[in-house]
Amino acid sequence: MSEDEDIMDVSDSYEGALSAKKNGRTSLLDSGEDFELLNDEDIDDAPPPLEDAGGGKGKSMDETENKNADPDPPVPVDEWLDVLGNDQLKKKVLEAGEGRDSRPQKGQNVKINLKTYLKDGTLVEEQHDLCFTLGDGDVIQALDLTVQLMEMGEKALIQTDAKYAYGAWGSQEPEVPPNAELSLEAELLEATDAPDLELLHPAKKISLASHKRERGNAHYQRGDYAFAVNSYSIALQITESSSKVDISAEEEDELMDVKVKCLNNMAASQLKLDHYDAALKSCVSALAHQPENIKALFRMGKVLALQGEYTEAIQTLRKALKLEPSNKTIHAELSKLVKKHSEQRGAEQAMYKKMLGNPSSSSGSTQKHQAKSSWGLSWKWLFGATAVAIGGVALSVVIAARN
C-alpha cells in the first residue's frame, strides 16, 4: 500500500466520500477506515431486515412479509395502499396488471421501467429496463417492498418517505437532496427465476458477486451497515457456491479475491454494529484464505482490542506492521494500544499492592524487629547469668568466713 495509507482512518461521514469523489479519488471502504479503494477493482449475522438501516431498530422482514403475504382484496385503480401501515410508503395502481398470480416472488430477477420525481414534481431520473433481484437490497427499499405487490404489466405510482429512499444523506446519482420524499412511477415488465449458481459461467458468477459486493460498499458509505452486511452475505453465498461448470485456475483466484474482499468489508460493517464475535469470525475466515492479508490482520487486531484481549491484539498488529512497516494507520493503532495496555497493567499492579499491602516494607520491619528482639534477649540472658555467678561467689565467701 502506498497512497492509501494516509487515509486508512477515513471518516464515517458521507461527506468524506463525496469530497473524495469530487477530488477524483475513490473513497476507501474495504474497511470503511482503511486500505483498499472502493471502486470497480476494489472495496453468525443473519441478513438484516429491510427496515433495519444502519443497525437501527425497525420492523423485521418477517413482519413485512406477513403483512404482504396475504393482503386484502386487490386495491381498485386510483386508490392508495398503505404498504407498511405507517403512511410513509404508499402505492396506487395507475394501470391494472395481469392478476395477483402474476406477482413476482422474492429472489426473482425483475425488470421495470422507472421514473423518479421529487415531491415538487421535478424529474430526477428515468430508467428503462432496470433489472434487480427482488429482496436483495439492490435498489432503494421503496422499490424492494412495493414491486412485490405489483402485477405483471401493472403501472403504479409510489410515494415514499426519505426513510425508504435515500435517507438523510441524499444521493448524487440520481441527484436527490437529503431527507427528500420521492414519487416513483414504476411499470413491471418481467420476472424470471434467478439463475442456478451451479450452472452459472464462472465469469458471470464473478460479475454477479462483485455487483452484490459493490452494493454493500454503497450501503456502507451511507452508514447503512446492516444492509451492507446483507449484501456482503449474498455475495459470499455466490462465491462459495459449488460449480458444475469448468473453471480455470485464474477464475478461481478472481472468485477467491472477491470472497476475501467481502469478508474484510463484512468485518468492517460488523465492527460498526458492535458485533465483535461476528467480526472476528469474518477476519479469521479471510486469514484462512490469505494468512498475510494486512486488512484482515489490522481489523482482527482492532476486534481483539475491543474484546479486551490486548496481548493478542498487539501481537496481531505487530504482524501486520511487519508486513507493511510504512503503514501509518497500523503504527498509530499499535502505539495507542500498547500505551493503553501499559496503563491498564500499571493500574492493576497498583490495585494489587493496595489490596495486599506493601510486602517488601512489611518483611523488612519484621526482620528488624526480630533482630532487635534477639539482641535484647541475649543481653538480658548474659546479665542474668553474670548476676547469678557473682551472687554465688559472695555466698561462698560468707560461708567460709563463718567457718
Average pLDDT for runs of 10 along the chain of length 403? 37 41 43 40 39 39 46 63 95 95 96 96 96 94 96 97 93 93 97 94 95 94 93 96 92 96 97 96 96 96 93 94 92 89 68 64 51 52 57 53 52
User: In this structure, are 155 and 241 located in the same domain?
Assistant: no
- Asked if residue 37 is part of any domain, the answer here is no
Give me the domain span that covers residue 115: 74-194
Beginning with the edge strand found earlier in the chain, give each strand of the sheet holding 80-82 in spatial order: 80-82, 89-95, 155-160, 182-192, 109-118, 123-133
CA distances to 28, 111, 145, 231, 271 from 133, in Å:
26, 9, 12, 11, 27
CATH code at position 176: 3.10.50.40
Within this chain, do residues 135 and 234 fall inside the same structural domain, yes or no? no
Residue 345 carries which side chain, given as an amino acid letter?
R
Q: What is the model's pLDDT at position 53?
A: 37
Residue 162 lies in a domain: yes
Total structural domains in the chain?
Answer: 2
Q: Give backbone dihedrals phi and psi of 120, rounded to 5 degrees, phi first.
A: -85, 5
According to DSSP, the residues that pair with 109 across neighbouring strands are 133, 192
Q: Is 227 inside any structural domain? A: yes
CA distance 118 to 29: 30
Within 8 A by CB and 6+ apart from 327, the residues are: 1, 5, 8, 294, 320, 321
- Write out the H or E segment, with its range, that includes residue 378: helix 359-402
Q: Does residue 13 lie in a domain region?
A: no
Q: What is the pLDDT of residue 342?
A: 77
The pLDDT value recorded for residue 21 is 42
- Residues 175 and 229 reside in one and the same domain: no
Identify whether the C-beta of residue 235 lies closer than 8 Å to the C-beta of residue 212. Answer: yes
Nearest to 96 by CA among 150, 148, 160, 158: 150
Alpha helices by DSSP H, 273-358: 276-289, 294-306, 310-323, 328-356
Closest Cα partner for 30 from 217, 211, 208? Answer: 217
Q: Which of 194, 209, 231 is the last residue of a domain?
A: 194
Same domain for 205 and 251? yes
Task: Note the pLDDT of residue 149.
Answer: 96
Same domain assignment for residues 158 and 214 = no
The DSSP 8-state label assigned to residue 141 in this structure reads H
Give, to the nearest 10 degrees, the angle between helix 328-356 and helix 310-323: 160
Predicted local confidence at residue 341, as pLDDT: 76
Q: Are residue 183 and residue 280 in the same domain, yes or no?
A: no
* Predicted local confidence at residue 27, as pLDDT: 41
The DSSP call for residue 108 is -
Same-domain pairing of 179 and 261: no
Q: CA-CA distance, 260 to 263, in Å (whole number)?
A: 5
Q: What is the DSSP-derived secondary structure letter of residue 336?
A: H
Residue 224 covered by a domain: yes
Q: Are residues 348 and 203 in the same domain?
A: yes
Confirm if 283 and 316 have CB atoms less than 8 A apart: no
339 and 220 in a single domain? The answer is yes
Is residue 6 domain-resident? no
Residues 207 and 331 in one domain: yes
Query: What residues contact residue 320 under an 8 Å CB cut-off, 6+ apart?
Result: 294, 297, 298, 301, 327, 330
Secondary structure of residue 114 in the 3-state scheme: strand
Per-residue pLDDT at 45: 39
> Do residues 320 and 299 lie in contact, with contact meaning Cβ atoms separated by under 8 Å?
no
State whether 176 and 230 are in the same domain.
Answer: no
CATH code: domain of residue 304: 1.25.40.10
Instruction: Round to whole Å and give the CA distance between 136 and 147.
Output: 13
What's the half-sphere exposure (Cβ side, CA atoms, 13 Å) at 381? 6
Peptide bond into 195 cis (omega under 30): no
For residue 319, is it within any domain?
yes
Choosing from 308, 331, 352, the residue where a domain stops is 352
What is the C-alpha separation between 110 and 39, in angstroms, rounded?
26
Which of 160, 175, 194 is at the close of a domain?
Answer: 194
Per-residue confidence (pLDDT) for residue 63, from 0 to 100:
46
Of 40, 375, 377, the closest CA to residue 207 belongs to 40
What per-residue confidence (pLDDT) applies to 15?
42
Identity of residue 60: S
Residues 204 and 344 in one domain: yes
Q: Are 213 and 261 in contact (CB under 8 A)?
A: yes
Residue with cell 475513490: 26
- For residue 300, tell me if it sits in a domain: yes
For the chain, how many residues are written?
403
pLDDT value at position 355?
73
C-alpha grid cell for residue 285? 475466515
